[in-house]
Every structure is written in C-alpha cells, then in structure tokens.
Amino acid sequence: LRTIGAEKKRLSPLDSQIFAESLKQIRLHIAPKNAAAFQDYIEVHMKQILKMTKQ
C-alpha cells in the first residue's frame, strides 16, 4: 500500500474490491473492544489511500 501511494498508481476495480473486502475481513476478526481503535488508527488511513489511488 505504501508503494502504491508513493507511486500514485491507480488501482483497478478488482484491486479496489479486494482492498475493501480485506478491510471488511480484518474488521470481522477484531475484538469488539478494539474496533474503535482499528477504525480510528488504521481503517481511516487505508480508506484515504484507496481514495488517492482512485483519483
């Protein structure tokens, strides 16, 4: 992800779908007490990277 962001590459629709599904799967495995921290510290940034690669 860091490389994709640094190179300002665009993700294909399939890459975007896999990226979103991966976040969803990770979220399902996070303990409920850690869900807010995951969202605040990881998921928000991952979604920003995804937006940057769509532009």
10-residue mean pLDDT profile of the chain (55 residues): values are 64 80 91 94 86 72
2 contacts 18 by C-beta, under 8 angstroms: no
pTM of model > 0.75:
no
Q: What is the pLDDT of residue 3?
A: 64
Tell me which residue range forms the domain holding 10: 2-54
Q: What is the pLDDT of residue 47?
A: 84
The tally of domains found in the chain comes to: 1
Q: What is the pLDDT of residue 22?
A: 87
Show the DSSP H helices in the chain as ranges: 2-7, 13-29, 35-38, 44-54
CA distance 33 to 1: 26
1 contacts 51 by C-beta, under 8 angstroms: no
Place of tokens 């995804």: 50
